[in-house]
Chains A and B, each alone.
Chain A
Amino acid sequence: MLSWLHPLPKLVVALAFLLASILVFDLVFQIALSLGIVLVLIVFERVPAWKVLLLCVPFALFGFGFLTTSLLFRQEAGAALDNTGQSLWHALPFSAGLTLFFRAIAGGLVSMAFALTTDPGQLVRALMACRVLPPRFAYALFSALELVPDLAGAANEIRLARAMRTGRPPRRVPGPVEIGALVVPLLAFAVRRAGRAAIAMEARGLAAGGARTIINLPRLSWRDGAFVGMAGLVLAMLVAGARMGWSLPSIAGAA
């Protein structure tokens, strides 16, 4: 469903959700946002649940840092919440940490939903067509986006070469030490790859200025309007719910 949409309205909606997840410091809002995106990805986009969970791992680790910090500095976090007027969950332990944890997850899921349902080529084309990006920058961005999946292939080749050298088959999942040892070679690969892409693009006529055709441009349709409208409505409802304190103020008051 999201994959059919024009990348630019989708980008605008993604940025709006991302902004809301940063500004609305409310646990229910963050959880609702996260669950909503997971639902869309799994039910409508048919992304396997394991893949969504796996992709959430880095964001969860990031959020976990907030959670542990909040646990270690509970009093300071509580004071910070008082100052921002967010007293709803103040009575609960780790409330600030939990909100921050789910904010990291929600932000990650918004980005993930956009990345999983958008063709980088289409995005770059749309940005060039709207004159948001000049072709040179657009294709540099495109190369960077395309580099990410290629890094997995490069990492695999390096792992195989190392396994061959040690005489032991590569592990199914690389351990932390092995991942650490891959960083520098992968960085070198990325630099080499960027240099080669630059030469390839130059040799094939990519230059600043001048006329340029863009083929296979995505077209705007009624679907994009409907999507922006619905997404806006959902976001407005979630923000309103967070501002009105959902139905929990009485529970908080009782506590």
Chain B
Amino acid sequence: MTVALPQPDAAPVPMREPSPALAFDDFAARYPFARSPAVGPVGFTMRAGERVLLLGPSGSGKSTLLLALTGLVPQAVPAETTGAVRLFGASVAGCRPSDWAGRVGQFFQDADQTLCGMRVEDEIAFALENLAWLEPQIHAAVKRALAAVGLPETIRRRRTATLSGGEKQLVALAATIAVEPVLLVADEPTASLSPRAAHRFRALLANWSAERAALVVDHRLDGLVDVVERVVVLGDDGLVLADGPPHVVFRRHHATLDARGIWTPLAADLDRELAAVGLAADTMPLTVAAALDELDALDLRGRDRARARRALASFVARHAPSSAHAAGDAPPVVRLEAAACAPFLGPTVVSDIELQIRAGEVVGILGANGAGKSTLGFALAGLLRLKAGRRVGAMGAVSFQNPEAQFSAGSVAAEIEAALASAGDAEARASRTARILRDWDLERLAARHPFELSQGEKRRLALACLAADERARLVVLDEPLAGLDRRGAAMVEAAVAGYVRAGRAVAIVTHDMDFALRLCPRCLVLGQGRVLADGSSATLMRDRPLLQRAGLEPPQIAPALDWLERHA
């Protein structure tokens, strides 16, 4: 039913926008009490119909830039700004952020910032109600949006607060695209999505209408770089470092991006390996599969083929090392017997779990959104009481999916010191704090309040606190890569290696199949309310029927593994 408020005659009709759709003219923003600008001065434009990927290290100001796009910075989030932002030819400064809701769909990095805490159906319909669409059109748009992101109709009546992190992200995405925006702005849209859901987002972007533009910030690049036309890279200082088509940026600036800790797609690494043996394609392929297709098209023989195999072997060795470092007969750290787990105040999501993790073992926990991965992680750590069964082992430590839940001190340094509380005298604590700040690249942020940090920096701080507490024999990392740049990911890998050396067990809850393949010799695949498989990652991740059943996708590096097998 539609209330008797004035209604438009019909739903808004998308208009053909004059270019540029978006322009940042030497825009810079500085938050109150900050010494340096959060971003800028930045100058770049986006044409109508263009799909742009914005990259940069954590803390380079990407999210600030996106907030400034409709004037949320500085109108809703106080900041001192210089320069100008123009949308569809109009200055953003002269409009309210809400004025752009019909043409700009904004997906924020934190799904809770996109969602208003309603039921799923109401969340998706909210912007459409504000735009005074007719009720039947709103219902149709909600249905379309749910289908587009792959959410079932049964989820309509659930409150968003009861959803898993990944499900929330899908609802936020559905709410963003439901308005059929002329400009889609998405900040880390795939950070908590399962591989299949992330694939669906990329398909959505690939089929994005030619009149509509999209500006996406994401760290999971594989599968995304081939659906964007342009990549803009921000440096540490918030200035534009590179700008161009993806195959040009990733080939020409590969070394610079690596040095600055900015993610590059796997295909760029493969391109470099192939270039080193003189077999790189003229134009850099944007996926591993495309690169291998080009290689096969060359019909290499003899020495050339050996060179290609060498390049591929080196590539695979770096990104999917052999899983020989399983723990063998090390003592068990934790054991679950006939366990059933349920999230806080929720129903049982995983049951009949028989599981043992040994000292020095790294286990990946994989599954679709809402499969119960985080719940199992908390149960393994002993922080969540089991609904049934038994847990044997000392309490573990968890890095929460929402890092803010772990913060309680007034500064980054104090947070780490609090985590070290039992570690010797004051001098020893200060020295260890300094070392951890350095290890996690948090030195320049030591005096900042944890809640002032960017999402990637918050994640690093939460992981640093976990590393500071050396008591737990089991460490559970819940989506440790979400929001992290390449440098941050390298820190996580180094920390995991350190845990293994110290004989601690590690469980990693992740959607990044390549990361799991690289770090976890053993994986658990969750689905259908139970553990579908428990075994070697190298085997499970190439078991396509199993991955299909669990709603997962093979890792991006899988075509390279297949190629090496074919050409052994």
Contacts and interface: CB of A to CB of B under 8 A. Distances in A.
A153 B344 contact: yes
B5 A214 contact: yes
A150 interface: yes
A180 interface: no
A160 interface: yes
Contact of A205 (B98, B398, B469): B98
Interface in B154-190: 159, 161, 175
A192 interface: yes
Contact of B397 (A164, A168, A214): A164
B435 interface: no
A129 B381 CA distance: 49
A74 interface: no
A196 B97 contact: no
B1 interface: yes
Contacts of B395: 163-164, 167-169
Interface residues of B, number: 70
B161 to A, nearest CB: 5
Interface in A134-164: 135, 139, 142-143, 146-147, 149-150, 152-154, 156-158, 160-164
Given A201-B116, A202-B98, A204-B130, A161 B5 contact: no
Contact of B72 (A161, A163, A199, A207): A199
B70 A211 contact: no
A165 interface: yes
B106 A213 contact: no
B199 interface: no
Given A167-B471, A169-B382, A198-B76, A215 B2 contact: yes
A143 B133 contact: no
Contacts of B404: 192
B119 A121 contact: yes
B408 A161 contact: yes
A139 B7 CA distance: 20
A165 B133 contact: no
A185 B512 CA distance: 32
B126 interface: yes
A81 to B, nearest CB: 44
B415 to A, nearest CB: 11
Interface in B422-454: 451
A195 B82 CA distance: 24
Contact of B126 (A149, A150, A163, A204): A204
Given A152-B345, A207-B130, A199 B2 contact: no
A203 interface: yes
B135 A200 contact: no
Contacts of B385: 172
Contacts of B106: 203-204
Interface stretch (B107-115, B249-257, B278-286, B319-327): B107-115
Contacts of A217: 1-3
Given A205-B131, A207-B96, A199 B398 contact: no
A75 to B, nearest CB: 48
Contact of B7 (A129, A153, A192, A211): A211
Given A196-B110, A215-B125, A165 B469 contact: yes
B153 to A, nearest CB: 15
B130 A193 contact: no
A212 B117 contact: no
Contact of B344 (A156, A193, A219): A156
Interface in B268-320: none
A16 B391 CA distance: 52
Interface string A159-186: 0111111011110100000000000010
A197 interface: yes
Contacts of A37: none
Most chain A C-beta atoms within 10 Å of own C-beta, residue among B7, B132, B397, B405: B405
Contacts of A211: 5-8, 132
B101 interface: yes
Contact of B138 (A147, A153, A197, A213): A213
A169 B344 CA distance: 14
Contacts of A153: 161, 344-345
B383 A203 contact: no
A213 B127 contact: no
Interface string A217-231: 101000000000000
A253 interface: no
A204 B5 contact: no
Nearest to A149: B161
A204 B101 contact: yes
Contacts of B471: 167
9 contacts: A154-B405, A164-B397, A165-B421, A169-B395, A197-B117, A203-B70, A204-B116, A212-B129, A214-B3
Interface of A: 121, 128-129, 135, 139, 142-143, 146-147, 149-150, 152-154, 156-158, 160-165, 167-170, 172, 185, 192-193, 196-207, 210-217, 219
Given A205-B98, A213-B133, 20 more contacts: A128-B3, A142-B116, A143-B117, A152-B345, A160-B398, A164-B472, A165-B469, A172-B385, A192-B404, A192-B451, A199-B72, A200-B116, A203-B108, A204-B106, A211-B8, A212-B132, A213-B7, A214-B5, A215-B2, A215-B125
Q: Which are the 6 A-B pairs with shortest beta-carbon distances?
A: A205-B101, A205-B130, A157-B405, A207-B98, A204-B127, A211-B132
